[in-house]
Structure 1
Amino acid sequence: MTANVPEVFGSLVFNQKTMKDRLPKETFKALKKTLDDGAPLPLDVANVVAHAMKEWAIEKGATHYTHWFQPLTGITAEKHDSFINPQDDGTVIMSFSGKELVKGEPDASSFPSGGHRATFEARGYTVWDPTSYPFIKEHTLCIPTAFCSYTGEALDKKTPLLRSMEALDKQAKRILKLFGKEVSHVATTVGPEQEYFIVDHKLYSERKDLRMTGRTLFGAKPSKGQEMDDQYFAALNPRIVEYMEDLNDTLWKYGVLSKTEHNEVAPAQHEMAPIFSTTNLSVDQNQLTMEVMKKVAKRHGLECLLHEKPFAGLNGSGKHNNWSMSTNEGENLLEPGKTPESNAQFLLFLTAILKAVDENQDLLRISVASAGNDHRLGANEAPPAIISVYLGDELYAVLEAIKDGKPYTSDKNEKMTIGVDVLPSIPKDSTDRNRTSPFAFTGNKFEFRSVGSSLSIAGPNTTLDAIVADVLKIFADELEGASDFEKALNALIAREVKAHWRIVFNGNGYDESWKVEAKKRGLLELKTTPDAVEHYLDAKNVKLFTELGVYTKQEMESHYEIKLEKYAQVLNIEVNTMLEMISKDILPAAYKYISAVSKTVSELKSVVPGAKASAETKVLSELDVLVDELSEKAELLEKAHEKAEKAGSALAVAKAYADTVKPAMEEARAVADKIEPLLGEEYKPFPSYEDLLFRV
C-alpha cells in the first residue's frame, strides 16, 4: 500500500502538472487553450508535446505507445507500436512525432458497424483527444482518442460524447447570458459509483457460465442470502481489504479519484465511488477502472464480476451516474444558490431537465438498455424500467406551487428568495434519497440510477447532455426574443412545469401500484432492450440528435442494428452455454447420483431383507421426474433458440429472444435448480451459490 498518496497520485498520468513542468511556457499555453476552450492544436505544438510525452513515458518504463479508444463494443481497444526507429548504422533511436500523437490508423474492419461497412473497408482513424490525459499502462503510453471511419462516421462512443458536451456548452452559455453571465465554458460533470461482486478465482474458473457469460445461469438459492442485512456497510473481509488497498493504490496512480469503498447489500458485493470529474475524463477513467478492477482481483486470486445480475435472487449491480453542470469558474448550475438571480436561473435549468427527461423517456431507457441490465431493472434493488424524476419533498412542493399558481410556504427556517415576484421561495438542499427512482435530484446533482454496472457511461451521458442541450436551445430561442424577460421567464417555467408534471414521482418505484399510476400518466414502461431500442429511430429522436450534430442519421441506424445484434448475441451465448451445462454437467451429475443411490438401495435390501429404503426411494423418484423434465425443457429451449435465430430482421430476432427464448431459459433453470439441492455434496457439477458467495 502506498504510504504517500499525494506523491503517487497521478504519477502514471501526463496531466497538467506534468505538462507544465516539462513543456516550454508557450507550448503549455497553447495546449492549455486546447484543453480549456477546445481550440485546434497546431502541428508544431503537437511535435513539442509528443517529444516531452515520449521522454516522460520512457522514464516511466514505457517502450510502446497506443491510441486507446472506445469502439462500439462497449470496452476499450488498443494497438501497440514501439518508439523504436531504425538508423543506418543498425541501431535504433526512440522517437515519437506530433503526427503519431495526433493521429493513428488502426484496422476498423472487425469492429461493430451495424452493417454500414463491409469487411474489406478496413480503414479507420484514431484522433487524439487532448482533453483527456495520456497515461502509462503496463509499459505502454496510452493516448485517449476518438475513432472514426475513413468516410468520417463515428465508430466509437467518445466522438458522440464530445459532440454532445459541445452542444450543451453552447446552449447553456446562451441561457447564462440571459442572466448577465458571460462564461467561456460549461461542462457536465459525472461521478459514477461502481458496484461489483468479488468471488474466488478458482471457484469462478469451475463455473462455465461465469466464464462465458459473466453471470450464473444456474444456482439454487443458498440457505442464507441478503435477508439479514448484515453485509451492507459491514466490516470488510481481510482478503477484500487487501484487494481494495491494491485497487486504490493502482487507481490513484492513474489519477482516478477513488474516494469511497464499502460492502454493498448482497453477499460478496461491494462498491467504489470516485469524486466528480468532467464527463469526458470520467468516462475514460471509468473504462480504465473496470479494467483495473478485474486485473487487480486476479493478482489476489479473486475474480471481479461486473455483470448487472450475476446471482439470481440477490441484488444486482448498477453504476449510479451522478450528473451535473458547471461553469469553468466553478459554479454548479444545479445548486439552488443563495442569490435571487441564481434561484431563478436554477429553476430554469431544473425545468429544462424535467422537460428533457419527460420528452425523452425512451432515449434514456435506450441508453441503459442491455441484456444484463434487463435482469436488474425493476427488481427489488434497482429502479423500474419506467423513467421518472424524484425531487424530494421540499422541491416537489415548490414546483407544485408554481404549477398550481399558488403561493408557497414552508416551515423551514432557511429560505431563499427567487427575486421574481410570481415565483415562491426555495428551501435550501432539503432532498432525501430515493433508491427506487431512476433519476433523482440529490441536492446539487441528478443521480441516474438506471445505468448498469458493466455499461460504458459514455452512452447515457451523451444522451443526457444532448436532450438537455435540445431543451436549453428551445428555451434560449424563446427568452432571447422576449421584450420583458422576467415575465417571459415566469410564464415559461410555470407552463413547462405544468406540462411535464407527470414525470415527477417521489413515491416507491418498487410498488406495483406505481406501474398502474405510470400507465395512467402516459409514461413508458419499456421492459426489455428490444422494446426500448424499437423507438431509437423514431422521427423525434433522429431530429434531436442530428440537429444538434451529436449523431448523423447513418450513425443512428448503425447503432440501432448494433444494439439489437449485441442483445441477440449475448442471449445466443447464454443459451448455448446453458444447453451445454445441462447436457455435460447437470444431467450427468444427476445420473451419477441416481446410480449411487440406486446401488445403495440394492445393497441395503440385500443386507437387510424387508428394508423399505423409503428416503432413498423418495429421492430417486424426485430426481427421475426432474431429470425427465429438465431434458424436455432443454429440448424446448433449443427449439425456441433455433426459431429465434431465423426470425428475420434484427428487431424480430431480438424480440424472439426476449419473448420466447428468455422464458424458456427461465423454465429450464427452475428445474435444474430443483435438482441441485437433492444431490450429495460430492456430486455437485460445479460450485454452488454458497461456495461462491461465502468462500472469499
Structure 2
Amino acid sequence: MEQSMSEVMNVTDMFGRNVFNDAVMRDRLPKSVYKKLKKTIEDGAELDPSIADVVAHAMKDWAIERGATHYTHWFQPLTGVTAEKHDSFISAPSDGRVIMEFSGKELIKGEPDASSFPSGGLRATFEARGYTAWDCTSSAFLREDAIGVTLCIPTAFCSYKGEALDKKTPLLRSVQAVNEQALRILRLFGNTTAKRVTPSVGAEQEYFLVDRAKYMQRKDLIYTGRTLFGAMPPKGQELEDHYFGVIRERIGSYMNEVNKELWKLGVPAKTQHNEAAPAQHELAPIYEEVNLAVDHNQIVMETLKKVAGRHGMACLLHEKPFAGVNGSGKHDNWSLTGDDGTNMLNPGDTPHENIQFLLVLACIIKAVDVHADLLRESAADVGNDQRLGSNEAPPAIISIFLGEQLEDVIDQLCSTGEATHSKKGGTLKTGVNILPDLDKDATDRNRTSPFAFTGNKFEFRMVGASDSIASPNTVLNTIVAEAFKEAADILEKADDFDMAVHDLIKKTLADHRRIIFNGNGYSREWVAEAERRGLPNLGSMVEAIPALTTEKAVKLFEEFGVFTRAELESRAEVEYEGYSKAANIEARTMIDMASKQIIPAVIKYTTQLAGSICAVRNACPEADVSVQTELLTEASDLLSSMKVALAALIEATDKASAMGGGREQAEAYHGVVAPAMEALRAPADRLEMIVDKDLWPMPSYGDLIFEV
C-alpha cells in the first residue's frame, strides 16, 4: 500500500517528463527565442528561421541528457499508422572522436521517400522526394524502449509539389479554417477577448487483450488483427458482468504501466475500465487541442501494443476481432473552445435564451445534415464494416441525438417561432435516507446515436478503434467552418441583427431537423424512417469512399484550403487500394488456414472416428455405433461443404486480385470475396463444435477471451 501511495504522489513529477514542453522551453531557451516560438505556436505565425538553430541545440542537449542517441521526424502518412526514420546525433568523426550535433535545418525539414508511401497517384515511383516539416504546435518527446532513447519530432508530410501526403497537414488546415469562421461568430455576439478558437477533442480508446502465446497460434490474428474463424463459447457477454467489473491483477498491472508510459509522454490518461465484452477494455484521456489529441491518440495505440508484449499479452485494436461479442470503437468527443475559456457548445442553464449557442447548434446540425456522407466516410475503414450496425455500435446512418431538452427548444422555435422555456433536470431521489438526492440532467444519453450531444460537446461514436482520429476531425472542422461562414455572411450584413439571427436559427433548424433522431438507432424501423427522410445509408467502406470526390466535397474542401481536388482523388484511390489489400490478405489467410490447418485436422478426426466405428463393430457387432456414425456423417458433410466453399473463395480471390485496382476491384472484394469468406467460415465454425478440442489446430474463442 505504501508503494502504491508513493506512486500516486509521484504522478505530478512523472507527467511530461519526456516531453520538450512549454516549461522546458521556457527554462532552456533565451527569452527572446522563447517569445518568438510561443508566438508561432499561439498565433499561428510563420516560424522565424533565425531561431531554429537555437531551438534545435536546446532540444538536442535536453534529449542527450536523458540518454537519447537518435532523433526522428515522427509523421502520419496515409498508411493509418505513424512512420519514422532514425538518425543519430553524431557528426563526421575527426581524430577518432565524434561531435553530437543537431541543426535547425535538421529540426525543421526531413526528406523521407515519398514514393514508398501511399499517395494515390500523387507520387510516381521515380518521383521519390517528399518532405517532413516540423509541427511546433505539438511538442517533441522522448521514446524509451528496447532500442534506446529516441527524440521524436512531430511533423507534417508533403510531396515535392506541396500536396499533403499525411493526415496532419489537412487537419492543421481545417483547424485554421474553423478558427477563422468561429471568431466571426463570436464577434457577432460582441466577444472581443477570444483571439483563437480551437477544436478540443477527447478520444476514448477501446481495445482487447489476449494471451500472447495463444495469439501466436492464430494466423488470422497475426496477419489481419481479427479472427476469421471461431465458434462462440458457451458464455459470451450475456451476463454483462465484465462491463465495469473488477479489473484483474494481470490487466491492472498492464494498465498501470500503460498509464506511466503515457504520463511521461504528457498524455493525460484519465479513465480505465473493463468494457462490455470479455477481454475488452477502455482508456480515456482528458480533452486537449485537436492536433495534440490526434498525436496523443497515436501514442496511446502504440503504447497499448508495446506494453502488452511486456506482460505476455497481445493488444488487439481491430474493430471486430471476435464475431458475436462487442467490437471496439473510438468515441471522438469534439467541442470548440476559445483561448479565453469560451466553450461555444455550452448551452448554459437556459439554452432557450442562449442565442449564440442556438446559432452554433443550428450551424452544426446543418453541417452534419449537408455533409452526412462525408462524415460517414471519415469513419470508414475495413474493420468498421464488421462493427457498424451491430448491437454495440451505431448504425451506418448518420443522425444527431440532442436529447429532450434541446429537442423541446427546437420544437418551440419551429412551431411557434419563439422558445420560452427549457426543460429542467430536477432531482433524482434514491429512496434511501442515508444517500443524498442527486441533481438529474435534463437529458438522458443515447448510445445508439452516431453523433450525440452530451452536455457541452458532441460525441462522434462511429470512429473505429484502430483508425486515426485525424480524418473525422478534419471533416468536422471543415463542415462546421462552412456552416459558420454561411451564417456570418448573412448576419454581418443584417440591419437588425436580433431579428436576423432569430430568423436564421429558425430557418436552419426547420430545413435540417431531419437529421435529428433521439430514438433507437438499432431498430429496423429507423432504417426505414431514415430512408423516408432521405438520409444516406452507406453500409460499407466501399460505398462510402465516393463521398470524397463529389463536386460538393471538392467545393467544400477547396474553398477552405483543406484539400485540393487532386488530394481528394488521391485519398479515394488510397482507400480503395487499402480496402482491396486488406480484404485480399484476409481472404488469403482464410485459404491458408482452411487448407493447411482446419481441413487436415477434420480429416484426422474423421479418420479416427471411422477407425473407432470399425473397431467397435469388430469387437462387438451388436453394439450401437449410431452416435459415432452420425458424427462422422455430419463432419464429412461439413467437410465437403467447406471444400466447396474453399474452392469458391480461391476462385473469387484470384479474380479480384487480378483486377487493375481502384473502385472496381474494391467492389469485387466487398461484393464477391467477402460473402465467399462468410460461406467458408460457416461450416468451419460448425466443425469446431464437433471436432475434438485436442485436434482443433488453434485456440478457441473461449481460450482467447476468458483465459487472459
Fold-level match, TM-score > 0.5?
Answer: yes
| Contact 2:71 2:151 (8 Å CA) reproduced | yes
Alignment of 1:581-600 (within 5 A): 581-600=593-612
Distance 1:119 1:565, change over 3 A: same
Question: Given residue 657 of structure 1, which amino acid in structure 2 is its aligned partner?
Answer: Y
1:655 Cα shift?
1.3
Alpha-carbon separation, structure 2, partners of 1:185 and 1:74: 29
| Contact 2:346 2:456 (8 Å CA) reproduced | yes
Question: What SS class does the counterpart of residue 689 from structure 2 fall into?
Answer: helix
- 1:304 aligned residue (315, 326, 342): 315
Alignment of 1:10-159 (within 5 A): 10-138=16-144, 139-159=149-169
Is 1:267 aligned to 2:303, yes or no? no
| Contact 2:409 2:421 (8 Å CA) reproduced | no
1:646 Cα shift?
4.3
Alpha-carbon separation, structure 1, partners of 2:151 and 2:172: 22
Structure 2 equivalent of residue 423 of structure 1: none
Residues 643-666 of structure 1: CA deviation (Å, up to 9, x unaligned): 333455511111121112111111
Alpha-carbon separation, structure 2, partners of 1:628 and 1:373: 32
Is 1:463 aligned to 2:469, yes or no? no
Residues 350-406 of structure 1: CA deviation (Å, up to 9, x unaligned): 111000000001100110011100111111100000000000111111011111125
| Contact 1:218 1:672 (8 Å CA) reproduced | yes
1:65 Cα shift?
0.5
Alpha-carbon separation, structure 2, partners of 1:246 and 1:87: 39
Distance 1:548 1:201, change over 3 A: same
Alpha-carbon separation, structure 1, partners of 2:556 and 2:417: 34
| Contact 1:62 1:141 (8 Å CA) reproduced | yes
| Contact 1:48 1:98 (8 Å CA) reproduced | yes
Question: What SS class does the counterpart of residue 146 from structure 1 fall into?
Answer: strand
1:107 Cα shift?
1.3
Is 1:671 aligned to 2:677, yes or no? no
Alpha-carbon separation, structure 2, partners of 1:608 and 1:428: 74
Alpha-carbon separation, structure 1, partners of 2:506 and 2:523: 30
Structure 1 equivalent of residue 183 of structure 2: 173
| Contact 1:179 1:341 (8 Å CA) reproduced | no
| Contact 1:336 1:429 (8 Å CA) reproduced | no
The RMSD of aligned alpha carbons is 1.6
Question: Given residue 92 of structure 1, which amino acid in structure 2 is its aligned partner?
Answer: V
Q: Greater CA deviation, 659-668 or 195-204?
A: 659-668
Question: What SS class does the counterpart of residue 331 from structure 2 fall into?
Answer: strand
> What is the aligned length?
685
Distance 1:470 1:413, change over 3 A: closer
1:428 Cα shift?
11
1:281 Cα shift?
0.1
Alignment of 1:305-344 (within 5 A): 305-337=316-348, 343-344=354-355
Structure 2 equivalent of residue 351 of structure 1: 362
Question: Given residue 214 of structure 1, which amino acid in structure 2 is its aligned partner?
Answer: G
Question: Given residue 67 of structure 1, which amino acid in structure 2 is its aligned partner?
Answer: H
Question: What SS class does the counterpart of residue 87 from structure 2 fall into?
Answer: strand
Question: What SS class does the counterpart of residue 549 from structure 2 fall into?
Answer: coil
Is 1:258 aligned to 2:264, yes or no? no
Question: Given residue 141 of structure 1, which amino acid in structure 2 is its aligned partner?
Answer: L
Residues 302-356 of structure 1: CA deviation (Å, up to 9, x unaligned): 0000000000010000000000000011111100136899811111111110000
Alpha-carbon separation, structure 2, partners of 1:478 and 1:306: 45
| Contact 2:351 2:406 (8 Å CA) reproduced | no
Alpha-carbon separation, structure 2, partners of 1:428 and 1:31: 46
| Contact 1:195 1:317 (8 Å CA) reproduced | yes
| Contact 1:318 1:449 (8 Å CA) reproduced | yes
The normalised TM-score by structure 1 is 0.96
Alignment of 1:297-446 (within 5 A): 297-337=308-348, 343-408=354-419, 412=423, 430-446=442-458
1:116 Cα shift?
2.6
Alpha-carbon separation, structure 2, partners of 1:531 and 1:362: 10
Question: What SS class does the counterpart of residue 273 from structure 2 fall into?
Answer: strand
5+ residue gaps, structure 1: 416-426
| Contact 2:638 2:687 (8 Å CA) reproduced | yes
Q: Greater CA deviation, 61-70 or 590-599?
A: 590-599
| Contact 1:336 1:428 (8 Å CA) reproduced | no
Residues 601-631 of structure 1: CA deviation (Å, up to 9, x unaligned): 1221222232231111111010010000000
| Contact 1:362 1:524 (8 Å CA) reproduced | yes
Alpha-carbon separation, structure 2, partners of 1:240 and 1:626: 39
Residues 463-501 of structure 1: CA deviation (Å, up to 9, x unaligned): 000000011111111111111111110010000000001
Q: Greater CA deviation, 427-436 or 644-653?
A: 427-436
Q: Greater CA deviation, 610-619 or 317-326?
A: 610-619
Structure 2 equivalent of residue 287 of structure 1: 298
Alignment of 1:138-217 (within 5 A): 138=144, 139-182=149-192, 183-217=194-228
Alpha-carbon separation, structure 1, partners of 2:262 and 2:129: 34
The normalised TM-score by structure 2 is 0.95
Distance 1:341 1:575, change over 3 A: closer
| Contact 1:113 1:155 (8 Å CA) reproduced | yes
Question: What SS class does the counterpart of residue 281 from structure 2 fall into?
Answer: strand
Alpha-carbon separation, structure 2, partners of 1:408 and 1:121: 60
Distance 1:605 1:377, change over 3 A: same
Alpha-carbon separation, structure 1, partners of 2:514 and 2:350: 29
Distance 1:625 1:341, change over 3 A: closer
Question: What SS class does the counterpart of residue 152 from structure 1 fall into?
Answer: coil
Alpha-carbon separation, structure 2, partners of 1:464 and 1:406: 29
Question: Given residue 119 of structure 1, which amino acid in structure 2 is its aligned partner?
Answer: T
Question: What SS class does the counterpart of residue 683 from structure 1 fall into?
Answer: coil
| Contact 2:114 2:123 (8 Å CA) reproduced | no
Distance 1:408 1:181, change over 3 A: closer
Residues 531-574 of structure 1: CA deviation (Å, up to 9, x unaligned): 11123211010000011100011100100100111011110000
Alpha-carbon separation, structure 2, partners of 1:692 and 1:157: 34
1:642 Cα shift?
2.4
- 1:572 aligned residue (574, 584, 593): 584
1:82 Cα shift?
0.6
Alpha-carbon separation, structure 2, partners of 1:341 and 1:331: 18
Alpha-carbon separation, structure 1, partners of 2:424 and 2:672: 57
Q: Greater CA deviation, 91-100 or 66-75?
A: 91-100
| Contact 1:308 1:316 (8 Å CA) reproduced | yes
Is 1:230 aligned to 2:236, yes or no? no
